[in-house]
Amino acid sequence: MDRRTKRAGRVTCGLFLATVLGVVASGCVVVPNQAAPYDFDGDRVADPYWINRTTGTWYDARTGAVVHTEPAWARGDWVVAGDYDGDKNVDPATVNLAGQWRTASGRGSFSFPPPDLSAKPSGWVSVGVVPVPGNYTDPARTQAAWYREFDATWFIEGHAPIQFGFGGTPGGDRDGFTDHDIAVPADYDGDGRTDLATYNHEAAVWRIRSSRTNAVTETNTGVSGIPVPADYDGDGKVDMAVVDGFATWHIIGSSSFDWEGGICYESAADFNGDGRADPSCFYFNYPTWWALGLASWTIDSSSSRSPVTMPDAIYVNVLRVHFYWICVREGWC
């Protein structure tokens, strides 16, 4: 059961493993009010914003209006939208490799540097560090965080590093892709706090560490492809989902559907405000962003652009996965 209200938060119920008592118990958690995913203006509807990474300009795809502009020196940085000041609106934000987080919020700019990469195995070029902001401890505010891919270690503001996930096989670079886990943090257990989570493209395995119980679940999704976690059924818990190389979307544990999306950035957000995430396809080569069954927005076709509804920890891997698919299909590898 899940009950939402506009401003008063929500209640999520279900079976939870009570770690203190060591028993399985039924119960409810009150989830404090928090920003809805990718809702920049606070109306509880996700906003289809995208960024031209060359110019640092953010646009609203519905109107074409410029909604945010990065300073010239910050262009090309990672996109890390989140509610950093807790005002229930998601804020445009970027971060660079020096760890300067610039948020269009009451928190402004702050420093939280990425972890040391000197231990990275030599010759391992395609894995590094990616930003993974989330509401890890405070449901009301987004915290800065980094995921170091080669040893699957999480660095969250105010916390000691946590190793969770699989860093890949040392020296396992192959045609721009490795067997390392992709970071897919989200609130899978519905308690309002982000759960550590990874998806492995080669093994098709999704691992989640519940923020509520610390229990780890490992799911073999049976599908290799692009991870697109979102709350598709509107129960307040993010669902695992994968788009395979044939453009079929698989909501794990639920439906799958074929959408002739083609080569695009696949992401999902609740674009019509009914509480359920809507699949979308932001084309690489066409000036179009489709939200399945809802809308088709025209976007410019400059080369370096992406939807902000796709976390950058996934974005950097989407390019690798698509390249890998083309590579296999064309027989280069």
Residue closer to Ca ion (CB basis): 80 or 196:
196
229: nearest Cα among 178, 285, 277: 277
What is the CA 318 to chain-centroid distance, rounded?
12
Residue 189 makes contact with Ca ion by CB under 5 A: yes
* CA–CA separation, 280 and 47 (whole Å): 12
Site size for Ca ion (CB under 5 A): 21
Q: Which is nearer to Ca ion, 204 or 291 (CB)?
A: 291
Beta bridge partners of 289: 282, 297
Q: Which of 13, 18, 45, 292 binds Ca ion (CB under 5 A)?
A: 45
Q: Angle at the Cα of 70 (from 68 to 74), degrees rounded to 5?
A: 160
8 Å CB contact between 97 and 278: no
Closest CA to 181 of 210, 162, 201: 201
312 near Ca ion, rule: CB under 5 A: no
Give the residue, chosen from 70, 77, 91, 239, that forms a contact with Ca ion under the rule CB under 5 A. Answer: 239
The least distance separating Ca ion from the CB of residue 110, rounded to whole angstroms, comes to 24
Per CB under 5 A, 195 contacts Ca ion: yes
Residues 196-215 that bind Ca ion (CB under 5 A): 211
The least distance separating Ca ion from the CB of residue 45, rounded to whole angstroms, comes to 4
Secondary structure (3-state) at 218: strand
**Surface-to-core class of residue 157, CB atoms within 10 Å of its CB (0-12 exposed, 13-18 middle, 19+ buried):** middle
Pick 39 or 173: Cβ nearer Ca ion: 39
Binding string to Ca ion for residues 259 to 298, with x set by CB under 5 A, is what? -----------x-x-x-x-x--------------------
Nearest Cα to 326, choosing from 177, 183, 123?
Answer: 177
Return the number of the residue (274 or 300) whose C-beta is nearest Ca ion: 274
Contact 301, 46 (CB under 8 A): no
The residue (of 68 and 120) whose beta carbon lies closer to Ca ion is 68
Cβ proximity to Ca ion: between 129 and 223 the closer is 223
Which DSSP category does 246 fall into? T
Does 193 engage in binding with Ca ion (CB under 5 A)? Answer: yes
Site for Ca ion in 107-166 (CB under 5 A): none
Q: Note whether 41 binds Ca ion by CB under 5 A.
A: yes
83 near Ca ion (CB under 5 A): no
Q: By CB under 5 A, is residue 233 in contact with Ca ion?
A: yes
| b/e 96-106 (16+ beta carbons within 10 angstroms → b) | eeebebbbbbe
Is the Cβ of residue 38 or residue 324 nearer to Ca ion in the bound state?
38
H helix intervals, the chain: 312-330
Q: Are 194 and 134 in contact (CB under 8 A)?
A: yes
Query: Residue 195: phi, psi to the nearest 5?
Result: -95, 140
The correct pick among 2, 31, 35, 39 for binding Ca ion (CB under 5 A) is 39
Per rule CB under 5 A, is residue 2 in the interface with Ca ion?
no
Task: Closer to Ca ion by CB, 173 or 270: give it.
Answer: 270
Q: How far is the CB of 126 from Ca ion (least distance, A)?
A: 30
In 3-state terms, what secondary structure has residue 74? helix
Per CB under 5 A, the list member of 70, 83, 173, 187 interacting with Ca ion is: 187
For residue 307 the two structure tokens come to 């939807």
Binding interface with Ca ion (CB under 5 A): 39, 41, 43, 45, 47, 187, 189, 191, 193, 195, 211, 231, 233, 235, 237, 239, 270, 272, 274, 276, 278
